Each structure stands twice: as C-alpha cells, then as structure tokens.
Amino acid sequence: MKNIENLKQSYLELLLSENNLSNNSIISYKKDLLDFVVYFKLNSNLTFNNIILSYIENLRKSPLQNSSINRKLSCIKGFIKYLDSVLNLEKIDYSSFSLLNREIKIPKAIDKKEILIFFKNLSKTTPKNKIFYMFLFKF
C-alpha cells in the first residue's frame, strides 16, 4: 500500500476543501486518523480487512463512550472509503462499521429535601428569586 501517512494527509486536505468543518472537528479527525494509522503500522502483518476488524474490535472494548467510538468509526469508515476509491482495495466489509447505540442520559431529579430548601429560599425577597417565582407560577 502507498505510504499511509501521505494518504492520510491527502484525505484531511480533501475534508478541509470539501466540507465546512469546525476546528474541533478537524482536530478530532486528525487524532482519530493518527490513532488508526499507528494501529495500521503496528499490525501491518495482517490483511487490510483484518486490521480494520481488529481496530474496530479494540475500539468497542475500550472504555470510551459510545458517542466517541461512533465518531471514530465514522471517521475511519470515510478514510477507508477514500482509500478504496484511490487504491481500489480488496473487498472491504463495511458492515463491521455498524454504530453503537448512544447512551440514554436520564435527567437527574432532586430529592424532597432539596425541593423544600429551594422553596424556602425562594420565599426570601431578592430580584433573582422574584424571577424564579415568575417562571414557576406565572407562566
């Protein structure tokens, strides 16, 4: 395979020119691609498909949140599609890139004691408390 570093750089340039990405997105793409390229180099004895499968398996075993894993998977999938278009790779199994379910964040509730403290403090006449009172009881 051609120099993967050069291909990574070409892909980043393509992303910059075609997509209107924020600086944070670019930083994330660079880090995600760097992680994959390092993994690729360390496992270059494997076939390309096996490198991909192994990388994805390691990602899923990592302590990262599902949203971070999904971002990395999307980034790497885009990069591999780019490589496939440039190099005409062996048949790539894109089904291995299935995204993980996002965690459902349940809103935190306050207990009865905290509610009573809130209302006790609300009875104190301050401009801030008057605004809270208006929102709670006037609308």
Cα–Cα distance for residue pair 100/77, rounded to 1 Å:
14
Q: Which candidate, 70, 71, 83, 69, places its Cα nearest to that of 40? A: 83
Cα–Cα distance for residue pair 107/112, rounded to 1 Å:
16
pLDDT of 52-106, one tens digit each?
Answer: 889 999 998 999 888 888 899 989 999 988 988 888 877 877 777 777 676 666 6
Q: Which residues of 7-35 are buried (b: 16+ CB within 10 A; e: fewer)?
A: bbeebbeebeeeeeeeeeeeebbeebbee
Phi-psi bin for 88: left (phi > 0), alpha (psi -120 to 50), beta?
A: left
Q: Which residue has the tokens 């008057």?
A: 130
pTM, 2 dp: 0.66
pLDDT of 13-38, one tens digit each?
Answer: 888 887 777 878 889 999 999 999 99
Alpha helices in the chain (DSSP H): 4-18, 23-42, 48-61, 66-87, 112-122, 127-137
Please provide residue 109's backbone torsions phi and psi, each rounded to the nearest 5 degrees: -105, 150
Domain coordinates of the chain in residue numbers? 4-97, 109-139
pLDDT at 111: 80
The domain over range 4-97 is classified in CATH as 2.30.30: no
> Is pLDDT of 139 > 60?
no
